[in-house]
Every structure is written in C-alpha cells, then in structure tokens.
Structure 1
Amino acid sequence: MTNRTLGQHIKHLRLSKKLSITDLASSARISKGHLSNIENHGSSPSVQVIKKLALALEIPVELIIGHSPSQLDPEWTDLMIQAKNMGISKEEIQTFLAYESWKLFLKKEG
C-alpha cells in the first residue's frame, strides 16, 4: 500500500477499476457520503465495510488492507474463493483436510 492512507488506497483501487464513487458505494451497499469520508477524510472503515468494498471491487480483502496475497498460489486462492462462494465453510474445509490427513496416515501405517 506504500505510504498512502487506507482511504487513499481504497480510492486508488476504485479508480483503477474505473468506478465512480457512486458506483462503488452502490455496489458495496454503503452510502456515498461514508465512502467519500473514508477516501478523502481518512475515517476508518469497519471490517464489514472493508469486506463489502472488497466484494464490490472483486478483490481479496488483503489487497485493501495492504497485505499482498502474492505469497499464495493464485490457483489456491481462486479455489478458496470458489468454495466460499459455493457456501462451503472453513470448518467444512478443515474437516475435509483432517479426513485426507487421516487417510494418508493410515496409508503410511498400513
């Protein structure tokens, strides 16, 4: 995110997507005034607002808050987003991984 404030960063992301402040506010289901305050006056958005903005911008939350997800394989990131969009919970994924781990353990022991 370099030296930009969070609001400036959000504005940069919005402009990079060629969205007006009205368009992004509408897509994120927040008021135009609230988004303007975040972008121009540095008011701090809530976690819920950041999530709404990320969804509206079609980017991971990490890109808004400044953490680069580049350490992650993009295919894995896409798979996790697809799973989330399908309604698969983190707990279900954790259960699946535990089951697969258990199967590998049995295979090694057997």
Structure 2
Amino acid sequence: MAQKRINKRMGLIFKKARTEQKLTYDELSEISGVSTRYIKEIENHGNVPSFEILKQLICALHIPSDQFFYENNHSDNLDYKRLQAYLSECSADQITTILAIVEAYLRTYKNPK
C-alpha cells in the first residue's frame, strides 16, 4: 500500500492564500479544476498533491511557488525585495560579478556549524 505523504505547512499556505482572496472551496475548485474534497484534504489534513495538482492550485491562487520549494524564503523581508528589484535591473555581466562577490563573502564569513 502506498504511504500517504503529509505536509501541514503546504496546506496552511494554500488555506491562507484562499481565505485572503475570499474564495470558497467550491470557487477554488472551479478555478483550479481540483475537486473541492481534495482541496480540503490538502488544506486540513496536509495531503501532498501531485506536481500537476500543485501547479494548478498555485496558478489558480496566483501565489509564488518559491514558498513550497524554498522553506527559508525571505520574500516578506523588505531588504530582500529591494535586492530583487535591483538585481532585475542588472545586465548578465553585472549579475555574474555580483554572484562572485556574494559567493566570496559567504566563503569568508561562513558561520561554523
């Protein structure tokens, strides 16, 4: 028998996005093509959806996917957002230079574990 995978964090992210957008389960189901029952299982029981269902819900709710794949995401941090804005204005050469600087900085100031 296949083991049911559980991820409560994922369910909370979807629930928060759905409620902030004032969508009912039925409305999200209609928009995403995912059954109401399965959305409830994801949100309330932490069921982990397939990649295709994950994609459908992310697109339907218009939420960034990074929070699912990068748990320590800093997207709420104002400095992080400013840095992203600056980087979006850089050329490929500037990005390469900035990346080298950041990598050197992290190697130099890496915290011992």
TM-score range relative to shorter protein: 0.5 to 0.7
Q: How many Å separate the matches in 2 of 1:60 and 1:73? A: 16
Map Cα deviations across residues 39-61 of structure 1 (whole Å, 9 max, x no partner).
Answer: 11111111111111111011221
Q: How many Å separate the matches in 2 of 1:7 and 1:46? A: 13
The CA RMSD measured in Å over matched residues stands at 2.5
Counterparts of 1:45-84 in structure 2, within 5 Å, are 45-63=49-67, 65=68, 67=70, 68=73, 70=75, 71=80, 72-73=84-85, 76=88
Q: Does 1:10 align with 2:21?
A: no
The amino acid of 2:51's aligned partner reads V
Q: How many Å separate the matches in 2 of 1:25 and 1:13? A: 14
Q: How many Å separate the matches in 2 of 1:74 and 1:44? A: 35
Change (3 A) 1:5 1:73: same
Q: How many Å separate the matches in 2 of 1:74 and 1:30? A: 37
Say whether the 8 Å CA contact 1:62–1:69 is kept in structure 2. no
Q: TM-score, normalised by structure 2?
A: 0.54
Q: How many Å separate the matches in 2 of 1:13 and 1:54? A: 9
Q: How many Å separate the matches in 2 of 1:10 and 1:69? A: 18
Q: TM-score, normalised by structure 1?
A: 0.55
Q: How many Å separate the matches in 2 of 1:16 and 1:74? A: 29
Say whether the 8 Å CA contact 1:50–1:61 is kept in structure 2. no
Q: How many Å separate the matches in 1 of 2:57 and 2:86? A: 20
| SS across alignment from 1:5 | helix
Q: How many residues align?
A: 73
